Amino acid sequence: MLRALLRLKPRDIPVRVALRNSFAVFAPLAVGVWMDAPTIGLGMAIGALQTMFADQPGAYALRMRRMLLTALIAGLSAGIGILVGQHTAVLVVAVFVFGFAGGLVVSLGPLAARNGLASMILLMVCANMGVAPAQAPGVAALIFAGGLLQMLMAVAAWPLQRYRPERFALATILQQLAITARTRPDASQPSPTMQAAQDTLLLLHGQHHTRGVALQSFRIMAEVCERVRIDLLALADVHARLEDAKARELIETLLKQAALVLDHLSGAMREATAPTRAEDDVAKLQALGPAFEAARVNAERTRDQRLLRLATGRAAGLAGQLRALVRNGYWASSAGQIKAQQAESRLPPALRPNSPWITLKSNLKLSSVAFRHALRCGTSLVIALLLERTLQLPHGTWIPMTTAIVLKPDFGGTLSFGAGRVAGTLAGLLVGTALIHYAMDGTVVRLLLLWLFCFGFRLTAQMNYGLGVALLTGMLVMLLSFEGYAPGEALSARVVATLIGSALAMLAYAAWPTWEGKRTRSAFATLLEADQRHLTALLAGRVDVLDETRSAARAARTNVQASIDRLKAEPRRKGNRAEAELTESLLANATRLMRAPLTLEAQLREGASLPDLPALADFSAAVDAALGAQVRLLRGTGKFSEIPALRPHERKLAESVPHEHDVAFALLDASDRIADSLDTLTHLLRRGGAQGNKTATTVATPVPG
């Protein structure tokens, strides 16, 4: 709880976005007050406030679509709330339906979850406004208009900076690739470009992306970036295994030069200028080619000679990929005109947004976290609503509103949001009280303070929820003052209601918790299934599906890490700390498993082929069987005896591969490391199961190489 209150996350909202969003809240209220119609301005301000969090990075068309959807949901929820607010029985049913639906849509992602929360809040707030049902369409229209204003301001730069989001997305991934080149991440750690690559692919290939010839260049660059990542990781891996000091220094020089190319190309993308500096750097990088060949010839150890042979190929491949990035960088802007260099890129199925109806249908079962959260949320909101109407506290709407905000699908989220909301409200009480006495004398002052609080809330809500709530408290006090509510009464009533609502949410979760410990192994099993599909395709030479399978594995790895984080946030119970540490060790070795064949994968992508050997097919079948058995074991349907040992199959393959084959050394190296990683995973699973999740079972066994 203390960590959640004190921790400041990195700020992910640019100042210009916070200024734009807060101005869209301030402006309609200021105009309404100036025209002596504060109620109209207040309605639009509420709509703009609800919509501003949908202003997230992305293509302009996608941003416009999701902000319009958020504004529409806000308006409809407000209208329904006014219509049913005077009939408690009908309102109870509506609150349960909205609570259940708002809880279930967390399965569709953060934006859907935020819209679900906004619909619950507006339904309950508007139900208690005492507005006549005949005015419901007008209030709904005002709230929608405020959201529409927020959306128009977010996309106002579209004609002038049409491809800015795409350029910045690619600049981010190029910058991350430069970091990879400089730091050479350990094989057990995921590449820092993983999430950036995932976000960029979704942005450039999503179903709502902008269309145009320039966008084709962005897509080509995004795909080339994935190949650059593979080459960088393969070179870093060779560097870690070389014994020749001069050869290691040569690879370091190459990687530093590649980092310069990527840095300069990233800067050119952000500034929408020609990447001339990056082009000069690529020429210097290509000049290192002969030095690699000389180092291979002069190497004293046979193993170093083989590794340098791989490094030479990777260096040439990296130079070619960087040339392609620079070439396309000249056209990656709205002014660029490019020729079609490849067929229309398609989004791999692993990255396509699933049909929301199919996703929701698959979560309509008691074992689903989203379904349990939906039931918990709907029931808790009904209890909060009945409690509010029974107690008849001033501003009692904050009781169900706080319950909706605090209650999350996981223990850590509920605890941290509850603590943050209580602490933030108390801090806001102190700030608000001071403002009441010293700064509430004029309308202009109150309007400016509202803008300041809204700006601070937008800027800091993702950094620290408690700080954001403190600023939100001051903003709501200012908003309510334009409706004629006494600020002191609003502050004290909000504190009482917040304490009741937060306590109710925490009690609801405690009464029917969903512990992450029951899901972590299932998430890891899903990761191993994705790894299984990738390795099976790789060992079969199916280069055409490798992008799809690796993307799926990357997404599954992200889910495992998120599950571990949620598990760590839970109380110490039944060995869940040991389970988290065990899963971290398993995840590290699974990452090594996917890093093992990178050099082989890079050669296959360049047109090389695997030898047609029965031993290779036998090894591939053994890898598939081992991963399948490990998945069944994690899900409680298999036994340790079903997991085959990989080493005998790897030895048989090593004896069969002709050493003169183009990919001989890469294949032997990959098979050796795959066998090591899989046998280590089996060893960790056996220890974890045999010792009953004791902490001692979680020490990862080092993987050779």
Residue 237 in any domain: the answer is: yes
For residues 413 and 404, give the distance between their C-alpha atoms in angstroms, rounded to a whole number: 12
My answer on whether 316 and 178 are in the same domain is: yes
Residue 340 in any domain: the answer is: no
Residue 495 in any domain: the answer is: yes
My answer on whether 313 and 180 are in the same domain is: yes
Lowest mean pLDDT among 64-78, 433-447, 461-475: 433-447
For the chain, state the CA radius of gyration.
29
How much is the average pLDDT of 332-349? 39
Nearest to 324 by CA among 231, 202, 192, 190: 231
Q: What is the pLDDT of residues 621-638, one digit of tens each?
A: 999 999 999 999 888 888
pLDDT of residue 189: 64
Cβ partners under 8 Å of residue 655, min gap 6: 615
Does the pLDDT of residue 226 top 60, yes or no? yes
Among 178-187, 305-314, 585-594, the range of highest mean pLDDT = 585-594
Specify the CATH number for the domain of residue 627.
1.20.58
Q: What is the pLDDT of residues 597-622, one digit of tens each?
A: 888 888 888 788 898 889 999 999 99
Q: Which residue has the higher pLDDT, 200 or 206?
A: 200
My answer on whether 115 and 87 are in the same domain is: yes
Instruction: Enter the tokens of residue 73.
Output: 């949901």
Residue 589 in any domain: the answer is: yes
For residues 299 and 542, give the distance between their C-alpha atoms in angstroms, rounded to a whole number: 34
Neighbours of 325 (CB within 10 A): 26
pLDDT of residue 658: 86
Instruction: Enter the tokens of residue 108.
Output: 């569709």
pLDDT of residue 199: 56
pLDDT band at 140 (very low <50, low <70, confident <90, very high): very high
My answer on whether 234 and 182 are in the same domain is: yes
> How far apart, in Å, are the Cα atoms of 604 and each of 167, 314, 539, 657, 664?
30, 12, 10, 16, 12
My answer on whether 203 and 316 are in the same domain is: yes
Among 11-25, 118-132, 526-540, the range of highest mean pLDDT = 526-540
Does the pLDDT of residue 523 top 60, yes or no? yes
Neighbours of 622 (CB within 10 A): 22
My answer on whether 563 and 435 are in the same domain is: no
pLDDT of residue 39: 86
Q: What angle do CA 697, 698, 702 make, to 5 degrees?
A: 110
Does the pLDDT of residue 485 top 70, yes or no? no
pLDDT band at 691 (very low <50, low <70, confident <90, very high): very low
Nearest to 251 by CA among 311, 293, 210: 311
Residue 361 in any domain: the answer is: no
Q: Are 479 and 450 in contact (CB under 8 A)?
A: yes
Q: Are 229 and 191 in contact (CB under 8 A)?
A: yes
Q: What is the pLDDT of residues 266-301, one digit of tens each?
A: 888 888 777 888 888 888 887 887 888 788 778 778
> Of 453, 488, 511, which residue constitutes the final position of a domain?
511
Does the pLDDT of residue 143 top 90, yes or no? yes
My answer on whether 468 and 522 are in the same domain is: no
My answer on whether 431 and 576 are in the same domain is: no
Q: What is the DSSP letter of 640?
A: G
For residues 54 and 60, give the distance between their C-alpha atoms in angstroms, rounded to a whole number: 12
The amino acid that residue 150 corresponds to is Q
**Could you tell me the sign of the dihedral formed by the alpha carbons of 443, 152, 337, 351, in that order?**
positive
How much is the average pLDDT of 553-563? 81
Instruction: Enter the tokens of residue 552.
Output: 């799926």
pLDDT of residue 352: 43
How much is the average pLDDT of 395-414? 81
My answer on whether 494 and 552 are in the same domain is: no
Instruction: Enter the tokens of residue 627.
Output: 């991963």
- For residue 59, the SS3 value is coil
Instruction: Enter the tokens of residue 238.
Output: 């060779």
Share of the chain above pLDDT 70, in %: 81
My answer on whether 6 and 145 are in the same domain is: yes
> Of 511, 543, 571, which residue constitutes the final position of a domain?
511
How much is the average pLDDT of 580-599? 84
Cβ partners under 8 Å of residue 369, min gap 6: 409, 410, 514, 519
Share of the chain above pLDDT 90, in %: 16
Residue 563 in any domain: the answer is: yes
pLDDT of residue 142: 94
How much is the average pLDDT of 191-213? 52
My answer on whether 572 and 651 are in the same domain is: yes
For residues 59 and 37, give the distance between their C-alpha atoms in angstroms, rounded to a whole number: 36
The amino acid that residue 509 corresponds to is Y
What total of structural domains would you count in the chain?
3
Does the pLDDT of residue 325 top 90, yes or no? no
Nearest to 69 by CA among 84, 56, 83: 56
Residue 339 in any domain: the answer is: no
Q: Which residue has the higher pLDDT, 209 or 103?
A: 103
- For residue 147, the SS3 value is helix
> Of 333, 360, 391, which residue constitutes the final position of a domain?
333
Instruction: Enter the tokens of residue 160.
Output: 């002038």
Q: What is the DSSP letter of 704?
A: P
My answer on whether 284 and 143 are in the same domain is: no
pLDDT of residue 148: 94
Residue 528 in any domain: the answer is: yes
Does the pLDDT of residue 171 top 80, yes or no? yes
pLDDT of residue 215: 60
CA 411, distance to chain mean position in Å, is 20
Q: Which domain holds residue 582?
A: 518-698
For residues 698 and 586, give the distance between their C-alpha atoms in angstroms, rounded to a whole number: 9
pLDDT of residue 668: 86
Q: Which residue has the higher pLDDT, 603 or 84?
A: 84
Report the residue count for the chain.
705
Q: What is the DSSP letter of 301?
A: S
In the predicted model, what is the mean pLDDT of the chain?
Answer: 79
Cβ partners under 8 Å of residue 204, min gap 6: 166, 169, 215, 218, 219, 222, 345
pLDDT band at 353 (very low <50, low <70, confident <90, very high): very low
pLDDT of residue 309: 80
Q: What is the DSSP letter of 13?
A: S
